[in-house]
Amino acid sequence: MKSTTLLVFAASVVAFSVPASAQFAKPEDAVKYRKSALFVMQQNFGRVGAMAAGKTPFDAKVAAESAAVADFMAKLPWAAFGEGSDKGETRAKAEIWKEPAKFKEYADKMQLEMSKLSAAAKTGNLDSIKTAVSATAGTCKTCHDAYRKD
């Protein structure tokens, strides 16, 4: 590998070093972990969403900080959907474990749109934030419709 290629590869490994798979002592811990991550993500996303919808006053600094937290939190839940964590107090549908590639595709799409939202929020442009909030919310809904019991 050329050294520049190697450097880019090494940087991406560092950038994506949030655990892609993780061990949990009990299935309940995995369920709690992913729910907690999604809850913190949603609280931060929802704060930006409320500003985008004009429900709360636009505060560029708060929007940027909240979007950055949501962007980071968006990386965490997926490691906690391991084998055996399909039971207990979860609304996760069994299809998640039958169609892991599709579930991952939806999870990846959400993370991509959330990262665009964070980038938009850093610019402070409310119109860009509105577009990105809408795109991100769409990815939440697509996955919930397919994989969450309601």
Using rule CB under 6 A, residue 106 touches ligand ASC? no
> Under rule CB under 6 A, which residues in 12-51 are in contact with ligand ASC?
42, 45-46, 49
Residue number, 22 or 38, with CB nearest to ligand ASC: 38
Q: In terms of CB distance, is 27 or 46 closer to ligand ASC? A: 46
- Can you list the positions of beta strands (E) in 41-141? none
Cα–Cα distances in angstroms (integers) from residue 143 to residues 42, 102, 138, in the given order? 14, 9, 9
State the amino acid at position 123 in one-letter form: T
- Judged by CB under 6 A, the stretch of 71-79, 87-95, 119-127, 133-141 that binds ligand ASC is 133-141
- Compute the C-alpha angle 65/20/46, nearest 5°: 30
Rounded to 5°, angle at Cα 45 from 39 and 47: 105
Least Å distance between CB 100 and ligand ASC?
A: 21
> Does 60 engage in binding with ligand ASC (CB under 6 A)?
no
Nearer Cβ to ligand ASC (86/113): 113
> Cα separation of 144 and 23, whole Å?
25
